[in-house]
Amino acid sequence: MKLNNKIAMVTGAAQGIGLQIATKFADNGAKVIMLDITYPDEDLTKQDYSQNIIKLKVDISKKDEIEDITQYINKNIGIINILVNNAGICEVCPFEKLTEEQWDRMLAINLKGAFFCCQAVVKAMKKTESGKIINIASIAGKTGGILAGIHYSVSKAGLIMLTRCLARELAPFNINVNAVAPTLSNTQMQDLFSDLQIQQIINAIPLGRMTFPEDIANAVLFLASDEASFITGETINVNGGSLMD
C-alpha cells in the first residue's frame, strides 16, 4: 500500500473531493483524520482512535481551533505526515456587488485556513524531516474564474503562490508542498451553475467530460506518495486538457 503507516489530515472531508481523497488514502493504508465544520461536537477524549478513519469537527477559519486540534492529533494519534488543504467555498457574485463580508469569508476559509493548517503541521514535520502538503487549488486561480466570483479566483491564486513559497522554505526539511488545480468537478459546487453553463464548461474540455472527484483524489494520492518525493512547488492541472500550461 502506498501510504502504509502514514497519518493524513484532510480538511473539508465530509463530502465531495475531500471525502474521495480521505477514502482513497484509507484504501491505500493511511490513518486518515477527516476534518469538517459540519461534523457534530464530540468529546475528543472519548473517541476511538484505533480506527483508520477519524472524523473531527473544526472551523479552519479560526487559527486557535486549527492549532488545538493539530496538537491533539500529534499527541494522541501520531505525527501528521500528510496534510491536504481541501476545505473551501465557492460563490457566484458580480464584482461590483461583492461585499466586504463576502470577500473576508472567502479568503478566511479558502486561503487563511490553509495557511494556518500548514503552520500547525510543519512544527512536527520539521522535527521528523519529512512530510507532504497538498493544496486543492483551481483552474480559476490560474485563468481567473469565468463563472465563479473574483474573490474565489483570488483565493485560489493565493493558494498556488502559497504552495510555491512554502515549497522553497520547507525543502531543506524534506517537506514536499504541491497543489492540484481542477476545473469544475462533479460535486455539489456544480449546483451554483446552470445546465447551460455546465455544458459550456464540458464543451471546452478536450477529453469531453466533467472532472470527477476520483480524478482529483488520484492526483493527490500520487503527490502524497513516495513516488512524488522529488516533486515540490508544482501545481498539477486536473482538467481534461482545458488548460495546458
Task: Look at residue 197 in the predicted model and tell me its pLDDT.
Answer: 76
| pTM to 2 decimal places | 0.94
The answer to the question of residue 243 being in a domain is: no
Residue 4 has pLDDT above 90, yes or no: yes
Residue 2 resides in a domain: no
Note whether 179 and 233 are within 8 A (CB): no
- 43-65: per-residue pLDDT in tens? 888 888 888 999 999 999 999 99
Q: Is 244 within a domain?
A: no
Is residue 31 in a domain? yes
pLDDT given at position 176: 98
The pLDDT value recorded for residue 186 is 65
Mean pLDDT of 228-236: 98
Q: Which residues carry out catalysis?
A: 152
- For residue 84, which phi and psi values (nearest 5 degrees)? -115, 115
Residue 226: how many CB atoms within 10 A of its CB? 9
Range of the domain at 49: 7-236
Q: Which residue do the cell numbers 477529453 mark?
A: 207
Domain annotation covers residue 178: yes
CATH number where 153 lies: 3.40.50.720
% residues pLDDT > 70 (the chain): 96
Would 102 be classed as within a structural domain? yes
Q: Please tell me the distance from the alpha carbon of residue 95 to that of residue 92, in angstroms, as a whole number.
A: 9
Number of domains in the chain: 1
Structural domain includes residue 1: no
Q: Is residue 188 predicted with pLDDT exceeding 80?
A: no
70, part of any domain = yes
For the cut 70, the answer to whether the pLDDT of residue 189 exceeds it is no
C-alpha count within 13 angstroms, C-beta hemisphere, residue 59: 7
For residue 196, what pLDDT is reported?
81
